[in-house]
């Protein structure tokens, strides 16, 4: 095996994100090379971004030496996985730790994709300006260079917590309900943007107590044509009356007006009709790429689905997992049922683990996702849409005008979870913590340093930066208000998951 380390750039499928990120990626590469030079290691660059699976196969598949991937902006999992699967040469994923550039998001997604197939890898991250001056980063890099693997502290990975008799009874009741009538996951397309870790497949879903029915996203266009003007008028009147604040026009949003919202409501109502036809319980929505040049973004519709206060409501949420991510969809539906059984509000939010920082002596995570966060978190009132804002999704990514479904999450106790595959074995990660309200100036600084059009939740997840970066198996997380940790642990075991309780 060659001792020369190959440095490669996993990329986005879309040209614009890669072009925008290129200066930062070059700087990060120079920082990594500077660090390797300091350690006396030889290296070479693999030319260009990997923007399609075949590029990863052709550029990485022939390498037998150690390889380092740089994750400093959003990247697709297959742009690493497809090139390294079937090989066992040492693989290191390196990320900056930045809110502006979601490299850590791409690292977490790719790491989970690799774990699902049993491909060994190591992770390393830094927020230092000069990487070669970060002693902890250099220590990890040297360990990987010498041994081909990095050892991480596993003290925060705990077995499932003890479950009280009351919690066990609730979990058993929900499980019995799921066995009487298996929940159906309506999948609008497949996982988006290379999130193969979120694709469990029908056979595994059956073992876990779910069923899936796949419908091509193109059905949304067809069903949308059948939505009457009256239903659209009523839906638009509803969201206005319930308090959503729309930010039409302005710089970068000149083409965003009420007609954009109306078309988003058309898609929402079309999906309601498909859900009703197949008597589905929850929805996985592919979201990006598939219809991105044909329809407005689905954020607004997905936020409504995860709200009890919505047009044509039956009083319940319809759990929606954006990007058709079943690793969030399954725990979201399970958590919804546990919350209802415990007498708590049923809303479960879908978020990205976007970034984190120190505030008042503790580490807080900034959770931020472009779709699937319901209205409840912004008011803690299940009967209103006040606190929800809709801004135009950025034009460079979303050519058809449409708005987000966003707001600032209010303080409260919370439970979080995530399902993932460990070389095919289903695992449920669970934890609990608190949603925190930052001072207004601090919140504005963090929000504007990421993507201010998107819904935000500042959370103490009970785990700090290094625990999550080393061990967490997704860039997504499901979050609910209220303590259902024990119930979720018990239900997950009944459904057939191995349970990990993550707590520092």
Domain residue limits, the chain: 5-147, 165-502
When pLDDT is cut at 50, 70 and 90, the band that residue 1 belongs to is: low
- Does 205 score more than 60 pLDDT? yes
pLDDT attached to residue 101 = 87
Q: What is the pLDDT of residues 226-269, one digit of tens each?
A: 999 999 999 999 999 999 999 999 999 999 999 999 999 999 99
Q: How far apart are CA 430 and CA 415, in angstroms?
A: 8
- Does 199 score more than 90 pLDDT? yes
- How many other CB atoms sit within 10 Å of the CB of residue 423? 10
Q: Per the structure block, which two tokens stand in for 331?
A: 């725990």
pLDDT attached to residue 10 = 97
User: How much is the mean pLDDT over the chain?
Assistant: 96
When pLDDT is cut at 50, 70 and 90, the band that residue 424 belongs to is: very high
- Does 435 score more than 70 pLDDT? yes
CATH class of 5-147: alpha beta
- Does 99 score more than 90 pLDDT? no
Q: 3-class DSSP state for residue 414?
A: strand
pLDDT attached to residue 287 = 82
Task: For domain 165-502, say whether CATH 3.40.275.10 is its number.
Answer: yes
pTM of the model: 0.97
When pLDDT is cut at 50, 70 and 90, the band that residue 363 belongs to is: very high
Q: What percent of the chain has pLDDT over 90?
A: 93
H-run or E-run covering 420: strand 412-422
Q: What is the pLDDT of residues 105-137, one digit of tens each?
A: 999 999 999 999 999 999 999 999 999 999 999
When pLDDT is cut at 50, 70 and 90, the band that residue 370 belongs to is: confident
**Average pLDDT over every residue of 306-318:** 98
Of 474 and 397, the structure prediction assigns the larger pLDDT to: 474
For residue 380, count CB atoms less than 10 angstroms from its CB and return exposed for 0-12, middle for 13-18, buried for 19 or more. middle
- Does 139 score more than 70 pLDDT? yes
Q: What is the pLDDT of residues 314-323, one digit of tens each?
A: 999 999 999 9
CA-closest candidate to residue 354, choices 278, 465, 188, 430: 465
- Does 2 score more than 90 pLDDT? no
DSSP bridge pairs for 420: 427
Q: Per the structure block, which two tokens stand in for 464?
A: 């700090």
pLDDT attached to residue 194 = 83
Q: What is the pLDDT of residues 45-60, one digit of tens each?
A: 999 999 999 999 999 9
How far apart, in Å, are the Cα atoms of 248 and each of 255, 259, 297, 409? 8, 10, 15, 23
Torsion angle of C-alpha atoms 124, 130, 135, 141, degrees rounded to 10: 40
């Amino acid at each position: 095996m060659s001792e020369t380390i190959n440095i490669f750039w996993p990329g986005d499928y879309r040209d614009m994100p890669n072009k925008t990120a290129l200066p930062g990626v070059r700087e990060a590469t120079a920082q990594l090379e500077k660090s390797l030079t300091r350690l006396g290691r030889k290296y070479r660059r693999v030319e260009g971004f990997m923007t399609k699976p075949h590029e990863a196969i052709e550029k990485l598949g022939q390498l037998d030496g150690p390889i380092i991937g740089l994750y400093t902006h959003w990247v697709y999992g297959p742009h690493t996985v497809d090139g390294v699967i079937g090989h066992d040469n040492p693989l290191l994923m390196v990320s900056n730790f930045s809110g502006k550039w979601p490299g850590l998001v791409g690292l977490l997604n790719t790491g989970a994709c690799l774990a699902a197939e049993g491909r060994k890898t190591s992770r390393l991250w830094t927020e230092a300006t000069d990487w070669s001056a970060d002693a902890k980063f250099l220590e990890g890099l040297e360990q990987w260079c010498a041994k081909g693997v990095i050892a991480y502290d596993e003290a925060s990975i705990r077995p499932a917590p003890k479950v009280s008799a009351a919690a066990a009874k609730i979990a058993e009741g929900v499980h019995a309900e799921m066995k009487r009538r298996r929940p159906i996951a309506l999948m609008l397309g497949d996982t988006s943007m290379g999130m193969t870790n979120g694709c469990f497949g029908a056979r595994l879903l059956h073992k876990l107590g779910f069923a899936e029915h796949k419908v091509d996203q193109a059905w949304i266009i067809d069903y949308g044509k059948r939505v009457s003007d009256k239903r659209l008028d009523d839906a638009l009147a509803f969201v206005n009356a319930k308090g959503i604040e729309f930010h039409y026009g302005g710089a970068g949003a000149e083409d965003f007006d009420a007609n954009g919202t109306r078309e988003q409501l058309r898609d929402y109502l079309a999906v309601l009709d498909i859900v009703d036809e197949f008597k589905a319980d929850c929805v996985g929505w592919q979201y990006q790429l598939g219809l991105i040049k044909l329809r407005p973004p689905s954020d607004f519709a997905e936020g409504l689905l995860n709200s009890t206060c919505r047009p044509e409501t039956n009083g319940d949420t319809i759990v929606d997992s954006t990007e058709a991510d079943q690793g969030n969809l399954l725990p979201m539906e399970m958590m919804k049922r546990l919350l209802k059984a415990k007498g708590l509000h049923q809303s479960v939010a879908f978020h990205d683990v976007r970034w984190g920082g120190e505030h008042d002596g503790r580490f807080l995570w900034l959770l931020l996702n472009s779709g699937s966060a319901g209205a409840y978190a912004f008011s803690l009132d299940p009967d209103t849409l006040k606190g929800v804002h809709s801004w135009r999704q950025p034009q460079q990514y979303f050519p058809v005008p449409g708005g987000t479904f966003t707001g600032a999450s209010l303080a409260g106790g919370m439970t979080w979870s995530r399902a993932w595959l460990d070389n095919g074995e289903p695992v449920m990660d669970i934890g609990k913590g608190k949603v925190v309200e930052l001072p207004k100036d601090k919140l504005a600084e963090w929000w504007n340093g990421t993507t201010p059009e998107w819904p935000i939740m500042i959370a103490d997840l009970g785990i700090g930066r290094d625990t999550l970066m080393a061990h967490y198996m997704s860039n997504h997380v499901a979050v609910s208000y209220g303590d259902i940790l024990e119930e979720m642990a018990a239900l997950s075991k009944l459904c057939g998951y191995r349970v990990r309780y993550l707590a520092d």
